[in-house]
Amino acid sequence: MRPSGRAVDQLRPLKITRHFTKHAEGSVLIECGDTKVICTATVVSGVPRFLRGKGQGWITAEYGMLPRSTEKRVDREATRGKQNGRTVEIQRLIGRSLRAAVDLKKLGENTITIDCDVIQADGGTRTASITGGFVALADAMNKLVESKRVKTNPIVSQIAAISVGVYKGVPVLDLDYPEDSNAETDMNIIMNDKGGFIEIQGTAEGEAFSDEHMVGMLAVARKGIAEIIAAQTAALAEK
Amino acid sequence: MRPSGRAVDQLRPLKITRHFTKHAEGSVLIECGDTKVICTATVVSGVPRFLRGKGQGWITAEYGMLPRSTEKRVDREATRGKQNGRTVEIQRLIGRSLRAAVDLKKLGENTITIDCDVIQADGGTRTASITGGFVALADAMNKLVESKRVKTNPIVSQIAAISVGVYKGVPVLDLDYPEDSNAETDMNIIMNDKGGFIEIQGTAEGEAFSDEHMVGMLAVARKGIAEIIAAQTAALAEK
Amino acid sequence: MRPSGRAVDQLRPLKITRHFTKHAEGSVLIECGDTKVICTATVVSGVPRFLRGKGQGWITAEYGMLPRSTEKRVDREATRGKQNGRTVEIQRLIGRSLRAAVDLKKLGENTITIDCDVIQADGGTRTASITGGFVALADAMNKLVESKRVKTNPIVSQIAAISVGVYKGVPVLDLDYPEDSNAETDMNIIMNDKGGFIEIQGTAEGEAFSDEHMVGMLAVARKGIAEIIAAQTAALAEK
Amino acid sequence: MRPSGRAVDQLRPLKITRHFTKHAEGSVLIECGDTKVICTATVVSGVPRFLRGKGQGWITAEYGMLPRSTEKRVDREATRGKQNGRTVEIQRLIGRSLRAAVDLKKLGENTITIDCDVIQADGGTRTASITGGFVALADAMNKLVESKRVKTNPIVSQIAAISVGVYKGVPVLDLDYPEDSNAETDMNIIMNDKGGFIEIQGTAEGEAFSDEHMVGMLAVARKGIAEIIAAQTAALAEK
Amino acid sequence: MRPSGRAVDQLRPLKITRHFTKHAEGSVLIECGDTKVICTATVVSGVPRFLRGKGQGWITAEYGMLPRSTEKRVDREATRGKQNGRTVEIQRLIGRSLRAAVDLKKLGENTITIDCDVIQADGGTRTASITGGFVALADAMNKLVESKRVKTNPIVSQIAAISVGVYKGVPVLDLDYPEDSNAETDMNIIMNDKGGFIEIQGTAEGEAFSDEHMVGMLAVARKGIAEIIAAQTAALAEK
Amino acid sequence: MRPSGRAVDQLRPLKITRHFTKHAEGSVLIECGDTKVICTATVVSGVPRFLRGKGQGWITAEYGMLPRSTEKRVDREATRGKQNGRTVEIQRLIGRSLRAAVDLKKLGENTITIDCDVIQADGGTRTASITGGFVALADAMNKLVESKRVKTNPIVSQIAAISVGVYKGVPVLDLDYPEDSNAETDMNIIMNDKGGFIEIQGTAEGEAFSDEHMVGMLAVARKGIAEIIAAQTAALAEK
């Protein structure tokens, strides 16, 4: 039934490559099928003005797409002079989600910026960014601990994200672009490793969706998140 | 338990004033407790470039806050030269939600812009904007029908929105600002008059939230939406 | 002779509502016929960089129109990314005029921002903004005195503004939109309660205007200003 | 009494050099004492969107200061990315004043842009821009007539401008910078060659000004304008 | 003598990977040592306004760095709202150089945009962008020929680029970052496959450079360009 | 052979007028044939953030064209809200070149801004800006020495610039606009008074250029630079 031939609750092949580039404190290439995102974590001392003197840190995120990461070239936002609404919405979601992984007090007055740059898009770039961004964040935190800039690791829970949707009337897991552009409902779910919800955003694209659809989407999401968390854990266990 | 003394499933007083200003095709003042938003609907012929020649119309929304609608003055976005991320996120949500109320084909090549301007903020401005914006939209549609610019009314369902949350561990309806700034979870729910979901956006502010919390929030939301839909219907029935 | 049937030296009905919104130190709704403007005053400690350490305060103003305050929707300036020339010109005039009401030394190193937001426009929005802005400013000053943040009230004179013009060859007072868009001359006059001029700006729209026209416009203006000052005084006298 | 030793109704030396640069349809260097402004007129076919198809032309103006035209360097507006409020106010005034010199119908669907660039500032740059801009405009109009792009010369009256003020209690003509920065009142007056007013803008800098001051300022202005008009006429009479 | 131990006329390892991403008409990853740039070519019908109706095509380029491609994170230009001077300078150079490879008449009214995005920087990103951009361009041209959108291949010469410099008094080839930041002279040379110069840009960083240095730099450049052209040819020969 | 009838190695008439405007620390009008540029030098205490505390100064440059300095009016960059790529490229070149004239340590923590504003353009505006900018810089440095703000003059070498090119197959010196727009190669050369190269930028406009062309262009450049340096020296020798 699915264009890709996958089962309704089947993830695309997921590959997480750490140390993808050499300069960043955390640098991850995440590949979810044909969706490929570079996620880097940068640590700097100090916090934004609104947090100064409060004895806590900050996590923020920025998101971008290479102009030709998509089927049709999108304008370079640096050239247009502003980020579009979709970009702003996505990077706010990534930042908010990853802050839920961290005890900002333990981070001290440091700021970590997660940059998520899509080099190839095939649906699910925002959830891939969160999943990959968490791994980059974890690497950066480990460096902070090793270098004794923080005393205890500020990570308090593991965060992963996935998209689900209603496609031809059926709840399905991990929409690729052909599904995403035809789904009746599109929902992004961010959860932690204890099964709690961090964020849930669902949108009816045509018809409104029902309680029943919602239950179905949450069920496949829960399965997918568990597999993704396992993949993150495995990646982080590699030397 | 609630700062306002309301029951957990009790809305704030809701007042919808139509024909609030004289120029717009639809003009509504919506008051949800101390939250006050002016929602106007403007009809123009033609559609944005990406829709030209497709024989359909478009609904879009813009959102703003008067600088001193809030406890502490916020910068005027026109002076800063850009809308901030929160504004962009909100106006995209309003537009998306209201498009779900309309058969864009029936609208023909017309564009309706819903402007939502907050003159006093006390929590729930985005859901008030959607609820009030729907009434302004309905008035504009009626004018299009009366003036025979469209043949049949393009409204296909009635849309309303409300915020819910988990406050001191309990699911509550219609958060005001003191609750909103202390809630553990904050969720905005947009539904139609048939009980279907249009959009759902939930965010854990501190702790992750559970399935149980979710069920509780959806239950109070459903009650609140029914009352709001009744209030919209009553307002629209007035001459 | 006038579209509204008013006498040549007759003001539109003028209504000043204090405490219109709840957060601001001063909040006024001014209604001059169908022109309606919300004027708020915000007090913050400190002054702009160019005044630091000079032992004086500052008064500034910002002006905006809700997009559908007008017959034809105007673009939201926050979306366009800049204020247009007319807006800039108007807010500079408001700020300059209200500074003439105040002894900035007595204000100490505090800044007061007057926000004037037009919710319905029918001619004369800039003069209504000055007249209403003065009342909001006075309320804010009273709060500063009551809270002992300043020793003596910095208000040194009362300021009001009105438009006059030459319409069908005759000097008239308080132009509404139908007159404004057809007047041969349009003049904004700002005066204080001692009959002194604070600012005068007159523009010939078609023909040049003569000394005689000027004398006539100043005469009706003087009558109008006296009535407006009385209305401000009455409003400020209410508890 | 005046810092420059001039009589109260004495202009600074005024010099108008036509054909100052070679590319423009009109190019004038105007020198009013130490104030020096290059005014060029550019003719292009077509009109702005809001005038298309109305069978008339348009006159617009832009104003700028070289960064070091002033005692203290001002930021280059091109670098800052926007024109400041003063610039916007000035260029709107120049455009509005020069349009009063022209029958836009006779101009046909052509647009003339007057660029006024201050290379040295010593007070009165906006009035110098109008006076010099008129001469550049007249040259451009003559070219349009000679080349038969218009049938009859669209100039209908000659326009000149001057600043006056109240300095040490006395109305004076043509303020230079030392006077301008200490004047109690500053007024810009734009008149035509028939003695009619085109625009009048007066601002009390400290004290409010009286009717008597106003009469005094208008008297010296009238004398100054007559001399300036004679100087324009002489300049335009040269081959 | 060189930090990397290379001979003075030795290139870093050069690797060109075609078909690096799936959507673009040409997509190349070029690796020059640790410098890694993704170069894509996008073909669209039509030309910019200034070329319309002239029967020719256009080649343009855009350049960007991922924020953490560098040792210290650089601000995301999309967030700052503008491209910085260095970026503008580089993308103009890339576009100008690649246009020299093409007969724009043969391209017809098509525009090709070369996007060069640096994912890891270690010196020489602009010359790598030109070298890799040429390969992406060639792939796009081949597709245009295969799909018969152009009759004959518009490529008229092969273009490659390299940096040279004077390091510790000696002309050296292909500067990496440690050399680049300490070189006395830095020169970028773009040549074609017939040994002609397309562009040469040399800058003395500290001391001025002599004719002798120039001869030396051109000599090593010529050797390097020959090797790079061979590498491009080999890459393009692969199926 | 040349449109102007000049010999291949003949400069246009060169005139350098110091003290052109009265406010700046250095103010030069440079005229190279019909190209006319005002170059001013402004000294301020302090340095940009990236240099603070390093005990050195900074030289920077900004470039602009009056809108009608050219045959066809160019948009005012202040109105468009950004400098275009060509402007950015040019002002970076001017700043870089003039920094090579100065020992920034001797300058102390002062910043000098060179503003180059083209009032009439006929080719070679960037090289005229560098040549004239050096004279303005020298005047400003002399004032710093006279006023004892610096101990020893920070100028370490004299800098001049000229364009050369290949026109109808022949290397020529100092291209004017008719040559510039038809040259096969265009090269800007900046040298010091000891015959060393500061910067060299050559671009093939159509055909690639050969070693032989390069030798020819450098030869005429060397002759031109010697004459320009003599002209600068003569200008600076005048009281």
Q: Are the Cβ atoms of C209 and D197 closer than 8 angstroms?
A: yes
Query: Cβ-count burial of E76 within 10 angstroms (0-12 exposed, 13-18 middle, 19+ buried)?
Result: buried
Is C1 a domain residue? no
- pLDDT attached to residue B205: 87
Is B3 a domain residue? no
Q: State the DSSP H helix or E strand holding residue D228, giving kind and residue range, or none if neither.
A: helix D211-237
pLDDT tens per residue across span D24-82: 999 999 999 999 999 999 999 999 999 999 999 999 999 999 999 999 999 999 999 88
User: What's the gap in Å between the CA of F139 and the closest CA on chain E?
Assistant: 23
Mean pLDDT by 10 residues, chain E (239 residues): 96 98 98 98 96 95 98 95 92 97 97 98 98 98 96 97 96 96 95 96 92 95 98 96
Structural domains counted in chain E:
1
Domain containing residue D184: 14-237
Q: Residue D79: which of F67, F73, F83 has the nearest Cβ?
A: F83
Task: Find, in chain F, the residue whose alpha carbon is nearest to that of E91.
Answer: F85
Reading chain F (239 residues) residue by residue, the pLDDT tens digits are 899 999 999 999 999 999 999 999 999 999 999 999 999 999 999 999 999 999 999 999 999 999 999 999 999 999 998 899 999 999 999 999 999 999 999 999 999 999 999 999 999 999 999 999 999 999 999 999 999 999 999 999 999 999 999 999 999 999 999 999 999 999 999 999 999 999 999 999 888 999 999 999 999 999 999 999 999 999 999 98
Task: Find, in chain E, the residue whose alpha carbon is nearest to that of A36.
Answer: E21
According to the annotation, is B64 in a ligand binding site?
Answer: no
Place of tokens 């709107």: D92
The per-residue b/e assignment along A92-110, b for 16 or more CB within 10 angstroms, e otherwise, is bbbbbbbbbbbebebbbbb
Task: Find, in chain D, the residue whose alpha carbon is nearest to that of C184.
Answer: D198
Q: Residue B42: which of C23, C40, C68 has the nearest Cβ?
A: C68
Is B143 a domain residue? yes
- pLDDT attached to residue D195: 94
Is F8 a domain residue? no
Which residues of chain B neighbour C140 with C-beta distances below 8 Å?
Answer: none
- pLDDT band for position B81 (cuts 50, 70, 90): confident
Is the CA virtual torsion D37, D38, D39, D44 positive or negative?
A: negative
Closest-CA residue to E10 (of E191, E170, E135, E198): E170
According to the annotation, is E125 in a ligand binding site?
Answer: yes
Place of tokens 């000027």: C214
Write phi, then psi, for C113 (nearest 5 degrees).
-105, 125
Is E3 a domain residue? no
Count interface pairs D-F at CB distance under 8 A. Answer: 97
Interfacial residues of A (vs E; Cβ cutoff 8 Å): 21-24, 27, 34, 36, 38, 40, 42, 44, 62, 64, 66-71, 73, 76-79, 81-83, 87, 113, 115, 117, 119-121
Which of E68, E79, E86, E120 should be substituted to probe chain A, the one whose Cβ sees the most A Cβ atoms within 10 Å?
A: E68
pLDDT tens per residue across span D106-116: 999 999 999 99
Closest-CA residue to F65 (of F57, F75, F55, F56): F75
Which residues of chain B neighbour C66 with C-beta distances below 8 Å?
Answer: 21, 38, 40, 115, 117
A52, pLDDT greater than 90? yes
Q: State the average pLDDT over residues D216-231.
A: 97
Q: Is F39 helix (H, G, I), strand (E, B) or coil?
A: strand
DSSP state at residue B238: -
B203, pLDDT greater than 90? yes
* Inter-CA distances, F202 with A206, E97, F128, F134, F183, Å: 58, 12, 17, 22, 12
Q: What is the Cα–Cα distance from A154 to D135, expressed in whole angstroms?
A: 72
Mapping DSSP onto H, E and C, the string for chain C reads CCCCCCCCCCCCCEEEEECCCCCCCEEEEEEECCEEEEEEEEEEECCCHHHCCCCCCEEEEEEEECCCCCCCCCCCHHHHCCCCHHHHHHHHHHHHHHHCCECHHHHCCEEEEEEEEEEECCCCHHHHHHHHHHHHHHHHHHHHHHCCCCCCCCECCCEEEEEEEEECCEEEECCCHHHHCCCCEEEEEEEECCCCEEEEEEEECCCCECHHHHHHHHHHHHHHHHHHHHHHHHHHHCC
Q: List the CATH number of the domain containing A131.
A: 3.30.230.70
User: What's the gap in Å between the CA of F4 and the closest CA on chain E?
Assistant: 27
pLDDT tens per residue across span D137-154: 999 999 999 999 999 999
Q: Are the Cβ atoms of C78 and B78 closer than 8 angstroms?
A: yes
Q: Are the Cβ atoms of B204 and A210 closer than 8 angstroms?
A: no
Q: State the average pLDDT over residues D202-220.
A: 93
The total of other beta-carbon atoms located within 10 Å of residue D233's CB is: 14
The total of other beta-carbon atoms located within 10 Å of residue A79's CB is: 16
Q: Residue E100: which of F157, F194, F204 has the nearest Cβ?
A: F204
Q: Residue F200: which of E92, E192, E200 has the nearest Cβ?
A: E200
CB B55 within 8 A of CB B108: yes
Q: Residue E62: which of A79, A82, A119 has the nearest Cβ?
A: A79
Is A3 a domain residue? no
CB E93 within 8 A of CB E201: yes
Q: Residue B100: which of A191, A199, A204 has the nearest Cβ?
A: A204
- pLDDT attached to residue D81: 87
Place of tokens 């004719």: E211
User: What's the gap in Å between the CA of F226 and the closest CA on chain D?
Assistant: 29
Task: Find, in chain B, the residue whose alpha carbon is nearest to that of A219.
Answer: B211
Reading chain C (239 residues) residue by residue, the pLDDT tens digits are 899 999 999 999 999 999 999 999 999 999 999 999 999 999 999 999 999 999 999 999 999 999 999 999 999 999 998 899 999 999 999 999 999 999 999 999 999 999 999 999 999 999 999 999 999 999 999 999 999 999 999 999 999 999 999 999 999 999 999 999 999 999 999 999 999 999 999 999 888 999 999 999 999 999 999 999 999 999 999 98
According to the annotation, is A68 in a ligand binding site?
Answer: no
N-to-C CA span, chain B: 40
Query: Token pair for residue B148?
Result: 């025979």
Is A84 a domain residue? yes
Q: Is A42 helix (H, G, I), strand (E, B) or coil?
A: strand
Count interface pairs C-D at CB distance under 8 A. Answer: 79
According to the annotation, is B76 in a ligand binding site?
Answer: no
Place of tokens 């659809």: A213
Q: What is the Cα–Cα distance from F193 to B209, expressed in whole angstroms?
A: 74
Is C180 a domain residue? yes
Subunits touching B (CB < 8 Å, at least 3 pairs)? Answer: A, C
Task: Find, in chain A, the residue whose alpha carbon is nearest to that of E77.
Answer: A78
State the pTM of this model: 0.91
User: What's the gap in Å between the CA of B211 and the closest CA on chain A?
Assistant: 8
Q: State the DSSP H helix or E strand holding residue D226, giving kind and residue range, or none if neither.
A: helix D211-237
Task: Find, in chain F, the residue whose alpha carbon is nearest to that of D67.
Answer: F115
| pLDDT, averaged across chain B | 96
Which residues of chain B neighbour A100 with C-beta distances below 8 Å?
Answer: 204, 208
The total of other beta-carbon atoms located within 10 Å of residue A49's CB is: 6
